[in-house]
Amino acid sequence: GAVVSQHPSRVICKSGTSVKIECRSLDFQATTMFWYRQFPKQSLMLMATSNEGSKATYEQGVEKDKFLINHASLTLSTLTVTSAHPEDSSFYICSARGSESTDTQYFGPGTRLTVL
C-alpha cells in the first residue's frame, strides 16, 4: 500500500517552455502533498506544501509564479514549471501524506527535468 507515482519520469524541454509534472497517490487519499527538488548528489529541498483544495504554501526563496502547484483532488497534484530555463534542470520529487497516517510521507520515484 501507500504507492505514489509520478509522470513523466523524464522530460526534456526547450528553454522558455512550460512543463507539467503529475503526482498521484494510487491507493490512498492524499490530504497533503509535498514537492521537493534534488540537485545532483545533494539532499532534497522542500519547495512547497499543498493541501487538497487550498493554495500551496511555498518555502522561502521558491518563486510561486514559476512553480505552479495545483492539488485539485485527493489523489492528484501537479507541478508546472513555467518558462523553464536551464537552471531549472533538476530532479523533482513529490510526496504524499494521507489523513489516516499523518506522520509519514510516501514518496514518488521522481521526475528528471532537463531544460535545453
Nearer to another protein among residue 38 and residue 82 (C-beta): 38
Going by the DSSP 8-state scheme, the letter that residue 2 receives in this structure is -
Closest approach, Cβ 89 to another protein, in A, equals: 18
Terminal CA-CA length for the chain: 37
DSSP symbols for 18-87: -EEEEEEESSS-EEEEEEEEE-TTS-EEEEEEEETTS--EEPTT--TTTEEEEEEETTEEEEEE-S--GG
Among 25, 31, 49, 78, binds another protein (CB under 8 A): 49
Beta carbon of residue 95, minimum distance to another protein (angstroms, whole number): 8
78 vs 95, beta carbon nearer another protein: 95
Residue with smaller CB distance to another protein, 6 or 84: 6
Cell numbers that stand for 27 in this block = 491507493
> According to the binding rule CB under 8 A, does residue 46 interact with another protein?
yes
Could you give the CA distance from residue 92 to residue 71 in angstroms, rounded to a whole number? 16
Residue 44 binds another protein (CB under 8 A)? yes
Residues that bind another protein (CB under 8 A): 4, 6, 9, 34, 41-46, 49, 93, 95, 102-110
